[in-house]
Amino acid sequence: MYTHIPDTVIIISMALLLAALFIGFIRLVRGPGVAERIVAFDLMSLTILGFILLYSIYDQNAIYIDIPIVIALVAFIGTVSVSSYLKQKG
């Protein structure tokens, strides 16, 4: 009887992550400045990480754990490089 509780929690969590992804996309498109767009892109990458991890829990397959690590590293390097470029430019 308790097997449906984790599935329900995962589905609700995915819905909340979808809302966060949508809000981040709106901020990415309508952001008043470049700094806000960088933060929105970082938010979207972390939200996608959450999706992949939740799917890994739902599928009960640990092979998907490596993908978020790579995405997190690429997102971090991208954020730092764009931020340092903007610091040198301005």
Check if the beta carbon of residue 69 is closer than 8 Å to that of residue 32: no
| Phi, psi of 5, rounded to the nearest 5 degrees | -65, -50
- Residue 42 in tokens: 């970082």
Alpha helices in the chain (DSSP H): 4-30, 34-59, 66-89
Predicted pLDDT at 2: 52
The model's pTM: 0.82
pLDDT per position as a tens digit, 6-17: 888 999 999 999
Region 23-31: mean pLDDT is 94
